[in-house]
Chain A
Amino acid sequence: DIQMTQSPSTLSASVGDRVTITCWASQSISRWLAWYQQKPGKAPKLLIYEASSLESGVPSRFSGSGSGTEFTLTISSLQPDDFATYYCQQYNSYPGTFGQGTKVEIK
């Protein structure tokens, strides 16, 4: 199975900060990577697919980049609603695997 590693595990930031989360794949996954946001007690919500395509309805302050084995999710100006846990997922090959998550906390 392809292993997905996220960094950092926890991130403390303030409203208005630029935030970057990194995700590495244990082997090349081309651009077959998605990012999700999850809030406590809720299902994950798709933010980004194919590494950089913004899901409909997701604010433009979210962006994704990368290819191969290294990917980033950037929030250009953190808003109160963005405090949550973020997961990357590779879907290049079966089984789809998720990163361990990055919790974005209020500083």
Chain B
Amino acid sequence: QVQLVQSGAEVKKPGASVKVSCKASGYTFTDYAIHWVRQAPGQSLEWMGWINAANGNTKYSQKFQGRVTITRDTSATTAYMELSSLRSEDTAVFYCARGWDVSTYHRLWGQGTLVTVSS
């Protein structure tokens, strides 16, 4: 079926980096974009950035610019989000979501990946 499956929970120390994967199946990967959204505990949803799966073009939220890198591997139908210089405030669930363009609604979401940043 059509789905996005994310990698498992991570525990990282402050200053480290984390890389979360999002594997797409059930549809043509390069027909859509993949977005990444962060949700801190008890908080709302926050858009981080997106990648055009067809050509690899990316765009990032100014809030995360310089710390986030989104890539994709078309042969593996997988997108990746790497966040560096982690701090405790980055403890959150990270979601990938499918879209069409840089600004779009999201019909399909991954299950979420909890990243805990703690010394």
How many residue pairs link A and B with beta carbons under 8 A? The number is 52
How would residues 105 to 117 of chain B score, 1 for a CB under 8 Å from any chain A CB and 0 otherwise? Answer: 1110111100000
The reply to whether the CB of A8 lies closer than 8 angstroms to some CB of chain B is: no
Cα A90 to Cα B47 with chains together (Å): 11
Q: Which of B95, B104, B107, B109 is in CB contact (< 8 Å) with A96? A: B104
Residues of chain B contacted by A42 (CB below 8 angstroms): 111-112
Report the count of interface residues on A (CB-CB < 8 A): 23
The reply to whether the CB of A100 lies closer than 8 angstroms to some CB of chain B is: yes
Chief secondary structure at chain A's binding surface: loop
How would residues 68 to 103 of chain A score, 1 for a CB under 8 Å from any chain B CB and 0 otherwise? Answer: 000000000000000000010101111111111100
Please state if B47 and A95 are interface contacts (CB–CB under 8 Å).
yes
The reply to whether the CB of A34 lies closer than 8 angstroms to some CB of chain B is: yes
Cα A97 to Cα B38 with chains together (Å): 12
Q: Which of A43, A55, A96, A98 is in CB contact (< 8 Å) with B103? A: A96
Residues from 6 to 59 in A contacting B, C-beta threshold 8 Å: 32, 34, 36, 42-46, 49, 55
By size class, the interface of chain B is: 10 to 19
B4 → chain A closest CB, angstroms: 9
How would residues 79 to 119 of chain B score, 1 for a CB under 8 Å from any chain A CB and 0 otherwise? Answer: 00000000000000001010000111111011110000000
Q: Residues on B close to A: CB < 8 A?
A: 35, 44-47, 59, 61, 95, 97, 102-107, 109-112
The 6 closest A-B pairs by CB, nearest first: A34-B105, A43-B109, A98-B45, A91-B103, A49-B105, A94-B102
